[in-house]
């Protein structure tokens, strides 16, 4: 299956470089480009790409706000942030807006290609430095325990629900579900949904399969 990509960056040279980097991949097709956040939202709605490769700091609405609006589209493409900025503020804004991943512009070509494929599958993709920052924030002593909402989200994931279904069940946005999962991953020191559920069960935070009662949805 060919993955359809939208490149978003306010520098034409950067967009041209990315297009050239990805040109040799038979399963990746760049279907459009945008030079700012508003254009990215509009083109995403028109072209319905599978993945949007998003810069953060651009004229007009920035990448985080554009990500938030794109995540609200139906269908919503995955948004993979590619930026030079690695501050906690930038990272958290992008993740909370619904970004599937966050990479830095010094990411090797092979890693970027794999990240695009992973993002299209719905996997969370984080640069090592970004993952360390998120993990460091969640490893603070006051934040080590999972919150009741994080446990609710994990319980529904354990029942096989998608992020969208979890959001509907708890009356929260899909981007918020992703944020809760990222925080839970960091606190449990795991990298994916399956490991998070397994670890939570092993620690007695969730009942084992078969013994799980219906989650209370309030």
Query: By CB neighbour count within 10 A (0-12 exposed, 13-18 middle, 19+ buried), where does 25 fall?
Result: middle
Domain 3-130 and domain 142-202 have a common topology: no
**Surface-to-core class of residue 137, CB atoms within 10 Å of its CB (0-12 exposed, 13-18 middle, 19+ buried):** middle
Superfamily of domain 3-130: Response regulator (3.40.50.2300)
- Domain residue ranges of the chain, discontinuous segments joined by +: 3-130, 142-202
Per-position pLDDT tens, the chain of length 218: 899 999 999 999 999 999 999 998 999 999 999 999 999 999 999 999 999 999 999 988 999 999 999 999 988 999 999 998 877 778 878 888 888 889 998 899 999 999 999 888 887 788 877 776 665 554 444 446 888 999 999 999 988 889 999 999 999 888 889 889 988 988 888 878 887 888 888 788 888 665 444 333 33
Laid out side by side, the sheet with 101-104 consists of 28-34, 3-8, 51-54, 78-83, 101-104, 125-126
pTM for this model (two decimals): 0.64
Q: Which CATH architecture has domain 142-202?
A: Orthogonal Bundle (1.10)
Pairing mode, strands 51-54 and 78-83: parallel
């Amino acid at each position: 299956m060919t993955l359809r990509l939208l490149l978003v960056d306010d520098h034409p040279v950067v967009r041209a470089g990315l297009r050239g980097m990805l040109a040799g991949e038979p399963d990746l097709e760049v279907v459009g480009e945008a030079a700012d956040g508003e254009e990215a939202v509009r083109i995403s709605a028109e072209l319905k790409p599978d993945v949007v490769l998003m810069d953060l700091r651009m004229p007009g609405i920035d990448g985080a706000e554009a990500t938030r609006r794109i995540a609200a589209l139906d269908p919503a493409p995955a948004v993979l942030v590619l930026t030079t900025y690695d501050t906690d503020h930038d990272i958290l804004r992008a993740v909370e807006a619904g970004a599937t991943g966050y990479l830095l512009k010094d990411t090797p070509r092979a890693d970027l290609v794999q990240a695009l494929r992973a993002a299209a599958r719905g996997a969370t993709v984080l640069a090592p430095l970004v993952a360390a920052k998120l993990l460091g924030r969640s490893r603070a002593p006051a934040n080590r325990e999972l919150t009741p909402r994080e446990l609710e989200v994990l319980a529904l994931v354990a029942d096989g629900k998608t992020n969208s279904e979890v959001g509907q069940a708890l009356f929260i946005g899909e981007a918020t579900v992703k944020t809760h999962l990222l925080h839970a991953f960091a606190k449990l020191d795991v990298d994916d949904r399956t490991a998070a559920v397994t670890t939570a069960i092993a620690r007695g935070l969730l009942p084992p399969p078969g013994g799980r009662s219906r989650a209370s949805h309030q």
